[in-house]
Amino acid sequence: MSSILYRLRESFSDAPNAVARAREISRELADWTSCPTPRMEPVATAEQYAYALSAFDAARIHGNQAEPGVGPCLDELRRRTVVTFDNEEPNSSFAGYAILRPNLIDLWPLPEKLTLTLDSTSPFGDPYSEPDPDCTEEELDDMVSVLGLLSLNVDWDCGWRGLSESKDCGVQVCLNSIWTQQTTEPSVGEFGVWISLGNRIAWTTEGENWRRDCGLSLGGPQQGW
């Protein structure tokens, strides 16, 4: 079941401030909060790639050669000898690693179905980590400290004090991105905090009263995950 998100009507100058505010809200309004679950977004813009190039040596790359534009771009990466594959002879769907070099910036933006990500690169993860793993608050701070222009979304499940239903409730930050229709889009320099309520509670009188009395200035509802 998906959740309903309400954006906090506050502005944040940087990622650490947005994360600190999300934690503050959890401490003040929740009976319990889970470990953070970070999700690295793909390197989506030339600006983000330039930052990644300055801070990292390699990135994870995956896609499907049958998708529009992916095959020719992959051939060009091969020609420039910057890509290695998990399998020696990759099928249509492939995964591997790309060496980050300045002469790749002319390839941006990449084809829609070709993904370059640092989610398997320290401190965001490692080659053996599972997708969307929980992390400690200290590990999250390490991620934020090197985030730069990259996009990172973080969720904490919460049991909001005063609500009888905690399923799909929580707090979320979008760092260098913005929430749209059940997904995020890159927006470098934008940092948002979102309150999440489950569908079973969001539309009830109890949920409406909680939003009214929580002391937060919230935007209108948007569909979450």
Q: Flag whether the pTM goes above 0.85.
A: yes
CA distance 177 to 129: 23
Nearest to residue 137, comparing CAs of 33, 47, 2?
33
Report the percent of the chain where pLDDT is more than 70. 98
Give the range among 17-21, 24-28, 105-109 with minimum mean pLDDT.
105-109
Is residue 184's pLDDT more than 90? no
Q: 2, 182 in Cβ contact below 8 A?
A: yes
Identify the pLDDT of residue 89: 64
What letters, b where the CB count within 10 A reaches 16 and e where it falls short, cover 57-80? ebbbbbbebeeeebbebbeebeee
